[in-house]
Homo-oligomer: A and B are copies of this chain.
Amino acid sequence: MTFTILRVLKQPSPDDASNVSKLIKHSLIEFICTATFVYFGTLSAVSTGTKLGGGSGKGEDVARIFPIAFCFGITIMCMAYSIGHYSGCHLNPGVSLLMFFRREMSAVRMCCYWIAQFTGAMLGSLLVWGSVQGLAKSDENLITRNPPFTLGSNILDPEITVGSGFLLELMGSFFFYLVISQTALDKKGIAETSLVAIPIGFSLVVVHVCLIPFTGCGVNPARIFGPSIITCMADRSQCTTVIGDWWWIYYIGPFCGALLVSEFTALLKWQVEPEVVEY
C-alpha cells in the first residue's frame, strides 16, 4: 500500500490538463467511445438473450457466454487500435485510476475522463434501448418490462455471496489491469506498441467468460453504471433488481484491483535493474 500512496504523494503528476481544448477533445473522445463500447458490449447480451426461451435476461445459457465475452473484449481491442493514440482509450474509470496511481495522468484529467466515461455509458445504454425497444413485452403477470432485458445490466447471481462477488470482481480487475499496465506501460515487455491491444482485449474476454455466470462481469464501473441507471430511471420497479445491496462490489472491486496492480508493479520493479529473462 505504501508504495502507491508514496508515489502519488511524492512523484509529480504529468502536466496533461493545462491545455484545456485538448483536455475537452480527449474527454469528448472518451465520451463517444465509452458509449460505443457499452453499446456493443451490452447489446451482445441482449441479442444472444433474445434467442433463448425466457425474456427476463436471467437465463444465462452456456452458449451465450463466449459471444458476449468476445464482444466486450474485442470492442476494447478495436477501440484501442482506433483512438488509443488520441485519448489513450481507457473507457473505464478503473483504468483511469490505475493510470493516476502509476503517475501517468493528473487528478484533473482523471476526473474529466470519469465524467465522460459515466455519461458516455448512459448514452450507450440509451442507444441500446432505442435499438431493442420492440422487445419490451408483458410477462406472465402482465407487467411490461421496459426497458427490455434491463439493457444488459450486471446482476449478482443469487447463489453467490456478496463477498465472493467482491473477490471475483477484484481478481478479474487485477488480471485485466495487470495486462494493461504491463503491456502498455512497461517498455521492456515483449509486446511491441503495435501489438499491445491484442493481449489487453483478449484478457478481457477471458475475464468475462469466467465472471459472466456469477457477477455478469463488471471490472468497469462505467459499464455497470450506464445500464443500471437508465433502467432504474425508466422503470422504478426494476430498480431493486439492477441495484441490489451488492452494488458496491462493481465499484470498489475494480478500484481495489487498480491498487493491487499498482502494488504488484512496484514488486516487479523491486530491483533497480530487473534482469530480463529471454522468453
Contacts and interface: CB of A to CB of B under 8 A. Distances in A.
Contact of A81 (B86, B127, B135, B183): B183
B199 A78 contact: yes
B206 A279 contact: no
A26 interface: yes
Given A209-B67, A214-B131, A279-B89, A179 B78 contact: yes
Contact of A164 (B66, B133, B175, B186): B133
A88 B190 CA distance: 11
A26 B277 contact: yes
B279 A85 contact: yes
Contacts of A52: 62
Q: Is the interface of A mostly helix, strand, loop or mixed?
A: helix
Given A81-B199, A191-B81, A191-B194, A209 B48 contact: yes
B179 A160 contact: no
B82 A183 contact: yes
B28 A206 contact: no
Interface of A: 16, 19, 21-22, 25-26, 28-29, 32, 36, 39-40, 43-44, 47-48, 50-52, 60-67, 69-71, 74-75, 77-78, 80-89, 127, 130-135, 157, 159-161, 163-164, 167-168, 171, 174-175, 178-179, 182-184, 186, 188-199, 202-203, 205-207, 209-214, 264, 267-268, 270-271, 274-279
